[in-house]
């Protein structure tokens, strides 16, 4: 994925995180990236780094092969309809990041038979730590690899079926917010028991990173690692059980299901 030209159509929060991640990899040719939005003011820093910025979606599509559409679900289909005459099935790969918009809907808006992918990254793309769930009906191995390798440059990828894309949105993309709220609560607790906010934040963020790495590197179940730190009659199990009595796991699961139902609607 070194030579394809990439257009990010609708470079808002997520689009900018992806671009920042690509910039920081230092291995992605920035001259191959075009970013679009109507108000270009907050893309000026990218322009200084060699990225093309424009409000003209059609020219961005014409000059690129991989088209990452990072528009909101409410206008993605109308914008795709507007630019459909510029989309060439023999040249372009379309990747939609929009929550809740199916491949069939995108196909209908473009009105052509062409390779369409849906991808669900998260804003940790900014630091190349996104997990991106990808689905497509495209069977072409080379194009599959192109899309995968693009998102691998900002983290890791998982291939899933389209019917799981909304679930992927909840635990992958909304998940960033859940985890950040958890971190914030831990910092608040740390301050109450004696640390200043800055020190509490350093301890908590590294603890969360360490806990994740334990699971990623050792491929263990969380409860296995929890058992190691819960001494009988000790302070960890006392705190954990108090959290559970107050609905800790239940609140998280119910929140996840509520987010999911909201997308389904």
Ligand X SMILES: NC(=O)c1ccc[n+]([C@@H]2O[C@H](COP(=O)([O-])OP(=O)(O)OC[C@H]3O[C@@H](n4cnc5c(N)ncnc54)[C@H](OP(=O)(O)O)[C@@H]3O)[C@@H](O)[C@H]2O)c1
Tell whether residue 71 is a contact of ligand X (CB under 6 A). yes
- What does the block give as tokens for 120? 């669900």
Per-residue x/- marks for ligand X, 92-121, CB under 6 A?
-----xxx--------------------xx
Per-residue x/- marks for ligand X, 42-61, CB under 6 A?
---------------x----
Which parts of the chain are beta strand (E)? 6-9, 33-36, 52-54, 66-69, 93-96, 116-120, 130-136, 155-159
The torsion region of residue 71 among left (phi > 0), alpha (psi -120 to 50) and beta comes to beta
Tell whether residue 72 is a contact of ligand X (CB under 6 A). yes
CB of 111 to ligand X, least distance (A): 18
Provide the CB-side half-sphere exposure for 186 (13 A, CA).
Answer: 19
Q: Are 65 and 90 within 8 A, CB to CB?
A: no
Percent helix, strand, coil in the chain, to 5, is 60, 15, 30
DSSP string, 13-59: HHHHHHHHHHHHHS-S-GGGEEEE-S--GGGHHHHHTT-EEES-HHH
Looking at residues 162 to 221 of the shown chain, list those that interact with ligand X (rule: CB under 6 A).
Answer: 173
Tell whether residue 39 is a contact of ligand X (CB under 6 A). yes
Token pair 């998982």 is found at 158
Q: Are 36 and 7 within 8 A, CB to CB?
A: yes
Has 71 been labeled as part of a binding site? yes
Has 9 been labeled as part of a binding site? yes
What Å distances lie between residue 208 and 52, 109, 229, CA to CA?
37, 42, 15
CB of 61 to ligand X, least distance (A): 11
CB of 227 to ligand X, least distance (A): 33
Tell whether residue 13 is a contact of ligand X (CB under 6 A). yes
Has 11 been labeled as part of a binding site? yes
Q: Which one, 82 or 242, has the nearer CB to ligand X?
A: 82
Has 189 been labeled as part of a binding site? no
Has 57 been labeled as part of a binding site? yes
Q: Which of 7, 15, 67, 126 binds ligand X (CB under 6 A)?
A: 15
Q: Which of 10, 21, 115, 190 binds ligand X (CB under 6 A)?
A: 10
Has 72 been labeled as part of a binding site? yes
CB of 167 to ligand X, least distance (A): 13
Tell whether residue 79 is a contact of ligand X (CB under 6 A). yes
Tell whether residue 122 is a contact of ligand X (CB under 6 A). yes
DSSP string, 68-99: EE---TTTHHHHHHHHGGG--TTT-EEEE--T
Binding-site residue numbers for NADPH are 57
Binding-site residue numbers are 9-14, 57, 70-73
Binding-site residue numbers for NADP(+) are 9-14, 70-73
Binding site for ligand X (CB under 6 A): 9-10, 12-15, 36-39, 57, 70-73, 75, 79, 97-99, 120-123, 173
């Amino acid at each position: 994925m070194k030579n394809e030209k990439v257009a990010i159509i609708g470079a808002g929060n997520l689009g900018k995180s992806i671009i920042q991640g690509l910039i920081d990899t230092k291995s992605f040719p920035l001259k191959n990236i075009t970013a679009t939005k109507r108000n270009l003011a907050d893309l000026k820093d990218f322009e200084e780094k060699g990225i093309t910025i424009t409000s003209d979606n059609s020219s961005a599509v014409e000059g690129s092969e991989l088209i990452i559409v990072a528009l909101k679900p409410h206008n993605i289909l109308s914008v795709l309809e507007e630019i459909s005459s510029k989309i060439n099935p023999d040249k372009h790969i379309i990747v939609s990041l929009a929550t809740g918009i199916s491949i069939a809907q995108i196909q209908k808006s473009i009105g052509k038979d062409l390779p369409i992918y849906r991808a669900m990254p998260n804003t940790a793309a900014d630091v190349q730590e996104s997990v991106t769930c990808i689905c497509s009906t495209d069977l072409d191995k080379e194009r599959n690899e192109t899309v995968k390798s693009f998102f691998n440059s900002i983290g890791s990828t998982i291939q899933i079926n389209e019917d799981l894309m909304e679930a992927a949105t909840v635990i992958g993309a909304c998940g960033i917010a859940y985890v950040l709220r958890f971190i914030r609560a831990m910092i608040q607790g740390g301050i109450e028991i004696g640390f200043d906010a800055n020190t509490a934040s350093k301890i908590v963020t590294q603890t969360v990173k360490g806990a994740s790495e334990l699971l990623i590197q050792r491929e263990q179940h969380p409860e296995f690692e929890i058992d190691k730190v819960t001494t009988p009659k000790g302070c960890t199990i006392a705190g954990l059980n108090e959290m559970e009595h107050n609905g800790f796991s239940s609140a998280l699961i119910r929140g996840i299901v509520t987010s999911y139902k909201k997308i389904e609607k």
